[in-house]
Structure 1
Amino acid sequence: MAGNGGCAEDEDCFEDAFDRIPVSCQMDLQSAIQETQCALNLVLNNKFSEALDLLKPWWRHSMYHALGYSSILVMQAAMTFEQGDIQVAMMTIKDALHTCQRFRKRNSVVGSLSSLVSKQTSLQEEEMHAEICYAECLLQKATLTFVQDENMISFIKGGLKIRTSYQIYKECQNSMNATQDQAGSSDSFRQFEGGVKLGIGSFNLMLSLLPQRILRLLEFIGFSGNRDFGLSQLREGASGGSLRSILCALTLLFYHTYITLILGTGEGDLVEAEALLEPYQQKYPNGSIILFYSARIAALKGNFEKARSRYEECIGSQQEWRQIHHLCYWELMWCHSYQQDWREAYRFADLLCKESRWSKAIYVYQKAAILSMMSEEEVTETGENVVELFRQVEGLKQRLAGKSIPTEKFAIRKARRYNADNPVKLVLPALEMMYVWNGFSIVGKRSDSTEALLVTVERAEEVLRSDPTPSEVHADDSCLVQMLKGLCLKHLGRLLQAELCFTQVLSSERRIRFDHYLVPFTLYELGLLYKQQGDVTKAAAYIENAKMNYKDYSMESRLHFRIHAALNSLRGSPASTP
C-alpha cells in the first residue's frame, strides 16, 4: 500500500507468505488499487477469508475495496446457491454501488468522461474509476437479480441493469479513445483502460453468442456484439498488467473451456487457454482456481487421467470453499463417465446429491442415469433404488427468474417414464446427458474411449432390435440410439456410416412420440458432418432447417445458441465446390 509502505506495487505481494494483513493509514486511489490487488492475490492463493478481512475495513469508503469485497461474496453466492449467501451478496452490492456513486461525476447518468483525464486532479481520476467500478457492480447485481427472485419483474430489472452497465462501458471506451494520447502512460489510466477492456470485451463476446431471437427477448435492441473484437479486447486486457488482467484471462479461459462447449460447437482455442494459464500456474501453483482450469484443459484435450489427478489436487488445495470441491466432483463424474467407469462416476454424482444445492433435480437424475448403466449386481451393492430416484426428480425442480432451468425440465420429462405402474426403462440415459452437455466433443478426442462407447451403443441397438414386444416409446429410443451411434462414428472418422445413422433418425420423424428434440438436434449434427466433409452449402441448409422449421422442443434455446455459433463459423468457411 502506498499509504504506509506495507505492499509493493508489483503483483507479487502476499504471493508466498501471509504473516500479517496491514491496515492502511490513508486510502488514496493508488493505494486502493494496490490493496485490492493484494486481496486478489490472496483469493488466487486460496486465502478467501483473509482477502475479505483485508478489504473489509475500507469497503464502505473505497470504490475498489467495495468492488473487491462484493465480487468475492458474489462468487461465493453463485457457487453455493444458498439463499442466505445470495441475500448477503445482494445487500453488499447495493452498499458497493452507493460507495461508487459517491465518487461518480455529478448531474449525469454516465457523465462525459472525455474531459476528466486532461485535468489531472485526484478527484477527476476517481470519477473515471468510479464509472468502471459502478458498471462492474451493476453487472454483479444483475447476475444475482436473475437468481434471487422467481418472477419476470426481476428478470426485466436484471436486463435494465445490464443495459445501463453496457452504456457506461461504451461511454468509458469513447473517453479512453479520445484521451489516450494525453494520459496513456500513467498507471491510473492503465488501470482504467484495463477495466474498459474487461467490460467492453466481455460484453462484445457475450452479445456475439446470443441468437437474434434471444437478443429480442432480452430487449437488447440495437445492441450488437463483435466476437473477434471482444476477444481482442480481452487479450489486450489480459496482457496489460492491470488489476483486471487476471480477470480478462479468466474470462477468456471460461470462454474457451466452457462457453464454446455448452453454447457453441466445441471449438475452443486450447492452445491460447494453455498460454493464458501458464504464467498463473507459475505464480499460484497451488491456487484452486488455477488448478481447476488446468484440469479442465487436460480433460478437453482427452487426457482424462491427468485431468482426474489435477481435480483431486484442486480438492486437496483448500477446504475453506467447499463449493470449488463441488465443481470438481461434477467434472470428475464426467471424466469417469467418458471412460465408462460407472462406479466412480456414481461416487461423485452421489457426493453432489448430498453436498451441493445447485440443482438437486439434475444431480438426482444424473445419479439415476449413471446407475442405469451399471449391472443389477453393482446397483444392489450401492443400496440405491433406481426407479425411486427417477421418481424423485420432478419434486426437486427449482425456478430461476420465474422460469424452470431447461436442463431440469429435460431431466424431469425423461424421468416421468418411471411414474407409471410398469415403467419403461430409459435407454442409455447417461450417454444422452453426456450429449446434452456436449460431452461427445470431449470424449471424441480419445479414439479408445469413443470405440468403447460405440460398443455400448451398439449393444443397446441390438437389444431394441430384438425386443419382441416394443413399447410405445420404441421409436424414440431407437432414434436416440442412432443419433448417439452417429456421433461416435463421426468422431471416429467413419463419416459415411455416421451420415446413415443421422438420416435414419430423420426418416423416423413421424414415429417419434415424445423426444421431438432428436430431429432438430440431428439436423444440426448432420450439418456439422457436412461441414467436416467440406460441403458448406449443404451444411448451412441442414442447420438452417433445424433453426427455422422446429420449435417447442426440449433444450430449444441451447440448440439455437449452437446453431448461431455453427452458422457464424460456416460464414468464415470457404464455399464448397460442386
Structure 2
Amino acid sequence: MAESAVRSSPVGEGDRSSVSTTGSFHGSTDSIPLDDSDLAHQGISLLLNNKFKEAKELFETHKNGSPLMHMGSSFVAFMEGLMSFEDERLSVAMKALQETEKRCETNNGFVSSFKRKLSRKKNTTQSQLNLEDKLQRDVIIADTILYQSILTFLNQDIPSYVKGGWLLRKAYKIYDRVHKTVVQLQQKLSDSKIPGRADLTKSAATDGNENELTEDLLSQLLAAVSFGYGTLQLSISLVPPKILKIIEFLGFEGDREAGLSALHYTSNSRDMRAPLAMLGVLWYHTILRPFFALDGTNAAAGVPDAEAVLDAKQKDFNNSSLFLFFRGRVQRMKRETEASLMTYNTALALAADQRELQLMCLYEIGWCHLLRLQWHESLKCFLRLSEESKWSKCYYEYLLAICAGALGDTAGARERFKVVPSLVKRKNNQIEAFVARRSEKLGKTVPSAECMQLLTVELLFLWNAFPTCTEEELRGLLKVCESQTERGVLHLKCLIEGALYRELQDEELATTCLEEAIARHQGMKDDLHVAAFAMFELATIYLKSPQTLPKSKTLLIKIRDNLKDYDFENRLSVRVNNAIKVVEKTLKAQN
C-alpha cells in the first residue's frame, strides 16, 4: 500500500545522489543526464501524496533511463494491482515486475548496452558495472521477485502458496547475499579508519573501478536491502503453516521481529523506500496482526505502534488519503466506529482522482455500517463496489444479497443468490468458494430476513471484526442471534453467540454456546467451518487459565491435524499455529 500528502520529499532532506544508478538502458530516448535517485524520490512523493497519475507518468517517461526508474514504474503497477485486487491490473503488475527483473539482470546482455553518464563516478567502463550499481540492481531484482510472490499469494490456493514460497526463498537468498556484502564493506571501511590499518584496507571500500564506496553510500544500500528483507519476513505471516514447513525445509524461516526491525531501519533512512517501509509497518500493525489474530484475543495490540508512526508523520501526510485510511484502521481497532467513519469519508473525498483508494475506503465504510447493522448504508457502498470494482463480482453480489435480505427484500435476495455461482472466476479462492456454496443453497428457497441478518454477522465473525466493536454494537449483534428460530442455522447461531459472549468477557456463557455449536454440527455435511472455528474459540478461552492450558492445546492440535477441507482453512490455520506456539511457550515457562 502507499501513502499520500504533498511535499517535495517524503524521506527527508540531504544529499540523495549518493545511491544512484545514473545512466540509461538500451533504447532510452533520454538525452539529458539524469539523477535517477532524485527522480525516484519525486515519483514516490507523488505516489504517496494523492497523485498516482502524475507518479505513473513520471516513472513511465524515464523508466528506460535507469533500473531505479524502471522499478518505480513497476512499483506503481504493483500498487494499483494490490489496491484494486482486479485480475487485469494484477496481471499487468506481474508482467511489469517480470520485465524489470529481466532488465536488471547483469548477465542478459543489457550490461553492454548500459550507457553510463559520468556525472559523479571517477572511473567506470561500459562493459563492467561498478559494485554500487550491481548491488543496487541485485536489490531491485529481489524486490521484483518479492512483489511477484505477494501477488501470487493473493490467489489463496495451495499451488499459489507453494509457488509464492519458492519466490520468497529466491528473493531471500539475494537479500541475504547483498546484506552480507554491504556489512563486510562497512566493516572494512571502519577498519580503514583505524590508524596503522589504512594501507591494509586500501581497496576494501572501493568498487571494481576503484571508485570509493562511502559510509553514507553503504548505509543507503543497507536501507535498500532492509526494506525488502523486512517486507519479506512479514509476508511469511501470510503463509499457512503447512506451506511454511516446506519453505523452512528449504532453508528459510520467517522472523517477524527481525522484519519489523529492518523496516524501521529503512523508514528512518534517506533511501527512496523509506516512506514505503513506514507503510509496511502500518500494514502489519493495522491489518495483518488483527486479521490473523497474531496477538490472540488482543486485536488492539498493534495500536500503540501504529499510532506512534502515524503521529510522527502527521504533519507530512496530513491530507494523504492512504495515511487517513490507516488512521481509520487504528480508530476501528480502538472501537471508535464513528470516528473511523468520519476519517474514511474524508479519505474518500481526498481520493477523488484515485479510483483504487476510493474503492478501499468505500469497502471500509460499508463494513463500519455493517458493524452497526445499518444494512441500507452498507448496501449503498457494496452496490457501488459491485458496479465499479472488477475484483470478485460474486463476493459483492453475495454482500448485496444478504444486505437486501436483512432489510426484508428476501425475494430480491434469492434472485441475487441465484446469480452468485455464475460470477465465480477462481474456484480455488476461499472467499469465492464459500459464497458460491452458500448461494447455491440459499437460492433454492426464499430465506427469512432473520436468517440474512445472521449471515451478515457471520461475515463480521469470519473477518475477525468482533474485537473492533463497541459493547453497544456487540449487544446489537447478540439480538440478531437471539431472533433466530430456524433449525437449519442454530449451529451457526451458537457459534456466533459464543464468540460474542467471549468478546463481552462472559466466558462461562461463551463456553456453553460454543460447546452447543459443536454438538449441533455433528453429523452435518455442510458448514464444516463451524466446528473448526468453535473449537478455536474454545481454545482461546482455555488458553487464559493455567489450569486449562492442556485442554487448549488438545483442541488446537485437533483442529490442525484432524479437521480438513473446511471454509477458510488457510486463514484459521495461521491463527491456530500462532496459538499453539503461545501455549507451548507458556507450558514450557510453567515447567
Range into which the TM-score falls when normalised by the shorter chain? 0.7 to 0.9
State the distance in 2 between where 1:24 and 1:35 align. 15
TM-score (norm 2): 0.81
Against the structure 1 CA distance between its residues 336 and 499, is the aligned structure 2 distance closer, same or farther, given a 3 Å change threshold?
same
3-state DSSP of counterpart to 1:414: helix
State the distance in 2 between where 1:139 and 1:238 align. 18
Matches within 5 A, 1:188-203: 188-203=217-232
Contact residue 366 and residue 381 of structure 2 kept, 8 A: yes
3-state DSSP of counterpart to 2:406: coil
Partner of 2:413: 386
3-state DSSP of counterpart to 2:260: helix
Counterpart of 1:508, as a letter, is: R
> How many equivalent residue pairs?
525
Matches within 5 A, 1:94-133: 94-102=98-106, 123-133=130-140
Write out per-residue CA displacement over residues 206-258 of structure 1, whole angstroms, 9 at most, x where no aligned residue: 22553431225679632211222222222222233432222222112111111
Contact residue 337 and residue 345 of structure 1 kept, 8 A: yes
State the distance in 2 between where 1:489 and 1:81 align. 34
Write out per-residue CA displacement over residues 178-221 of structure 1, whole angstroms, 9 at most, x where no aligned residue: 22234586332222111221222222222255343122567963
TM-score (norm 1): 0.83
Against the structure 1 CA distance between its residues 59 and 206, is the aligned structure 2 distance closer, same or farther, given a 3 Å change threshold?
same
Contact residue 60 and residue 96 of structure 1 kept, 8 A: no
3-state DSSP of counterpart to 1:508: helix
Against the structure 1 CA distance between its residues 343 and 9, is the aligned structure 2 distance closer, same or farther, given a 3 Å change threshold?
closer
Contact residue 549 and residue 583 of structure 2 kept, 8 A: yes
Matches within 5 A, 1:281-292: 281-292=314-325
Q: 2:145 aligns with which of 127, 138, 146?
A: 138
Q: Do structure 1's residue 366 and structure 2's residue 399 form an aligned pair?
A: yes
Partner of 2:288: 259
Against the structure 1 CA distance between its residues 187 and 120, is the aligned structure 2 distance closer, same or farther, given a 3 Å change threshold?
farther
Partner of 1:113: none
State the distance in 2 between where 1:103 and 1:291 align. 43
Partner of 1:395: 422
Q: 1:431 aligns with which of 457, 460, 467?
A: 457
Partner of 2:241: 212
Write out per-residue CA displacement over residues 130-184 of structure 1, whole angstroms, 9 at most, x where no aligned residue: 1101111222344456679x996x8776554433212101111222332223458
Partner of 2:180: 174
Bigger CA drift: 139-148 or 327-336?
A: 139-148
Partner of 1:247: 276
State the distance in 1 between where 2:94 and 2:239 align. 26
Against the structure 1 CA distance between its residues 123 and 44, is the aligned structure 2 distance closer, same or farther, given a 3 Å change threshold?
same
Cα offset, 1:497, TM superposition: 0.8
Cα offset, 1:33, TM superposition: 2.0
3-state DSSP of counterpart to 2:314: helix
Bigger CA drift: 260-269 or 335-344?
A: 260-269
Counterpart of 1:188, as a letter, is: L
Matches within 5 A, 1:32-111: 32-102=36-106
Bigger CA drift: 265-274 or 35-44?
A: 265-274
State the distance in 1 between where 2:189 and 2:331 align. 42
Cα offset, 1:488, TM superposition: 1.2
Bigger CA drift: 162-171 or 82-91?
A: 82-91
Counterpart of 1:71, as a letter, is: F
Partner of 1:417: 441
Q: Give the number of the structure with larger relative contact order, counting CA–CA contacts within 8 Å between residues 6 or more apart.
A: 2
3-state DSSP of counterpart to 2:473: helix
* Identity among equivalent pairs (%): 26
Cα offset, 1:32, TM superposition: 1.8
Partner of 1:116: none
Counterpart of 1:386, as a letter, is: A
Matches within 5 A, 1:492-531: 492-531=504-543
Contact residue 11 and residue 269 of structure 2 kept, 8 A: no
Against the structure 1 CA distance between its residues 575 and 8, is the aligned structure 2 distance closer, same or farther, given a 3 Å change threshold?
closer
State the distance in 1 between where 2:475 and 2:549 align. 28
Against the structure 1 CA distance between its residues 52 and 106, is the aligned structure 2 distance closer, same or farther, given a 3 Å change threshold?
closer
Partner of 2:558: 545
Write out per-residue CA displacement over residues 104-147 of structure 1, whole angstroms, 9 at most, x where no aligned residue: 9999xxxxxxxxxxx99782211111110111122234445667
Contact residue 489 and residue 498 of structure 1 kept, 8 A: yes
Partner of 2:377: 344
How much is the aligned-residue C-alpha RMSD, in angstroms?
3.2
Counterpart of 2:221, as a letter, is: F
Against the structure 1 CA distance between its residues 448 and 41, is the aligned structure 2 distance closer, same or farther, given a 3 Å change threshold?
same
Contact residue 536 and residue 576 of structure 1 kept, 8 A: no
Contact residue 105 and residue 127 of structure 1 kept, 8 A: no
State the distance in 1 between where 2:87 and 2:495 align. 40
State the distance in 1 between where 2:563 and 2:48 align. 45
Contact residue 418 and residue 424 of structure 1 kept, 8 A: no
State the distance in 2 between where 1:223 and 1:459 align. 50
Q: 2:477 aligns with which of 435, 448, 453?
A: 453
Q: 1:308 aligns with which of 341, 353, 372?
A: 341
Cα offset, 1:576, TM superposition: 9.1
Cα offset, 1:57, TM superposition: 3.3
Write out per-residue CA displacement over residues 21-74 of structure 1, whole angstroms, 9 at most, x where no aligned residue: xx99323xxx32222111111111111122123223321231111111110012
